[in-house]
Amino acid sequence: MTFKPTNWTGRDDAMVENMIRRGASRRDLLKMLMASGVGMAAGGSLLLGANKAVAATPVSGGVLKAAGWSSSTADTLDPAKASLSTDYVNCCAFYNRLTFLDEQGQVQMELADTINTDDAKTWEIKLKSGVTFHDGKALVAEDVVYSLKRHLDPAVGSKAAAMAGQMSEISKIDDLTVKVVLSGANADLPTIFAMHHFMIIADGTTDFTKANGTGAFICEAFEPGVHSIGKKNPNYFKSEGPYLDGFEFFAIADTNARVNALLSGDIHVGASLNPRSVRLMDGKPGVTTSITTSGSYTDLNIRLDMEPGSKADFVEGMKYLVNREAIQKSILRGMAEIGNDQPISSANRYHNPNLKPRAYDPDKAKHHFEKSGLLGTEIPMVASSAANSSVDMATIIQQMGQQIGMKLKVDQVPPDGYWSNYWLKSAVHFGNINPRPTPDILFSLLYASDAPWNESHYKSEKFDKMMLEARGSLDEDKRTSIYWDMQEMVANEAGTIIPAFISNVDGLSDKVGGMRANPLGALMGFSFLEYVWLNA
């Protein structure tokens, strides 16, 4: 029995493990632990345990049962249509992408052998040879061309259609080489290929009742809204993995039921638990939690082109009024990182660490509200359970407003139809954004003047220019400095307030090894099945 300080829980273990995975040194961690009142000796033993958990050796065999949080008859094996966790998990198990992102957010090759360009506009993709689909067909250039071109067809209903729109020419050069020409330079193309929607399917596939991919698992059964079953692909092209003999993935929508199934040993992985259930699991034998931050957030959007957001002082006041620390501590119960009103989280290699979050300052807020002439006017904020924790956040912001005489009203609306009826439309409303791998995707999706999801209707020519410059540049240092400046711009000028990046909390049986954080989302960017193992 290792000695642990009082109040030390499984959650803290997970946090320390997560920091080690991210590359924090032993010295950094000891300093941090001692600062929070943990003694030297105790700190050392904690780190030893955490190191052990991180550096375990893989074991082969076993069938993993994992449960996600949402599943319905809309579940699909069509990567272009994939929209929820369950789809992503299935796609990652049965298919492969040209590239993938590792834990540090760096691009690694998967089906591609090399991806080359001279001007970030014309790209040449060389494929690995000897890769076969589950039905025995060899992977060739036609498959990649077909998979990419599908996104441009509106009848497919691709979720990545906007992203794929920049590929003006997709053609085969030889059996293992594909050429992609973009309408404008974009140095991020290899990262874009790592997104779940760009999984490679066999040329001509139209039937998605079963998956035929190159992935680590062969699809045994797929019933939308019920489950998917995969068994190990004996001809997998990677030398390592998968370690599991097979898996069964399904969803348990009710968080309590998911925790109970985990506690009773019916499942090995229960994804996305809420902070309350994590408390339930703390100290229970046989289960652990994995807490990772990959950049999803719930934000408060104030449209700059309508009342009251058109008054700059109102927006400024709101930025001082939102108590980011209170939101992180009380609503998200510590399972979050405080945000600084820009969308690039610390999990991303372009994150600007010098940009500090604005401190909660009711006096300054009051001053700005008075200047805007809106102090005392009733302002509705639209919140809904569709945007995670937004109702709680709205309530806390409302209470802070009350203390300085600012009347904010919480308009709680049903989650059904929230994204088409309120999001982007109401003057003051909440949004919920999933992690995206590159600053360019986030900025062009959310902040560029012509961005389809420009939540606050932020418009800046300078910003648009900087975005294009960074996108077309192959010089890493230059890109980093531009992205740092852009983060500062949106934090100060746009009408979106991002109080915190919400952590993904997954419950694991202690038999599961190899789970790590990934910038593409929870469950190792949903590709955990290929990398985890089951200890007997």
- Residue 433 in 3-state DSSP? strand
Least distance CB 66 / another protein (angstroms): 13
Q: Which stretch binds another protein (CB under 8 A): 123-131, 169-177, 256-264, 495-503?
A: 256-264
Out of 95, 369, 423, 430, the only residue in the binding site for another protein (CB under 8 A) is 423
HSE of 102, CA atoms in CB hemisphere, 13 A:
8
Q: Beta strand pairing status for 269-270 and 246-251?
A: unpaired
Among 66-74, 140-148, 393-401, 509-517, the segment contacting another protein (CB under 8 A) = 66-74
Q: With respect to another protein, which residue has the nearer C-beta, 70 or 377? A: 70
Q: Which two tokens stand for residue 292?
A: 């990772």
Residues 461-490 vs another protein: string with x where CB under 8 A? ------------------------------
Asked if 75 touches another protein (CB under 8 A), the answer is: yes
Q: Applying CB under 8 A, which of residues 50, 176, 185, 261 lies at the interface with another protein? A: 261
How many residues lie near another protein (CB under 8 A)? 43
Write out the binding residues for another protein, residues 192-231 only, by CB under 8 A.
Answer: 209, 223-227
Q: Which helix (H) or strand (E) holds 108?
A: strand 107-109
Residues 6+ apart with CB under 8 A from 209: 77, 222
Q: Report yes or no: 301 and 495 within 8 Å, Cβ to Cβ.
A: yes
User: Binding to another protein by residue 453, rule CB under 8 A?
Assistant: yes
Q: Which of 25, 36, 60, 72 binds another protein (CB under 8 A)?
A: 72
Pairing of strands 177-182, 287-302: unpaired
Here the tokens at position 259 are 């925790």
Q: In the numeric block, which tokens belong to residue 462?
A: 């300078």
Q: Closer CB to another protein, residue 169 or residue 416?
A: 416
Please pick, from the candidates 102, 119, 254, 476, the single residue that binds another protein as defined by CB under 8 A.
254
Beta strands at 122-127 and 408-412: parallel, antiparallel or unpaired: unpaired
Q: Are strands 112-117 and 122-127 parallel, antiparallel or unpaired?
A: antiparallel
Sign of the Cα pseudo-torsion (195, 191, 156, 200, in order): negative
Exactly one of 89, 216, 263, 406 binds another protein (CB under 8 A); that residue is 263
Segments in 153-207 forming alpha helices (H)? 161-164, 189-192
What tokens does 71 get?
């599943």
Q: Smaller CB distance to another protein: residue 254 or 307?
A: 254
| 421 belongs to the binding site for another protein (CB under 8 A) | yes
The binding site for another protein (CB under 8 A) comprises 67, 72-76, 81, 83, 154-157, 159, 161-162, 209, 223-227, 250-254, 256-257, 260-261, 263-267, 416-417, 419-421, 423, 452-453
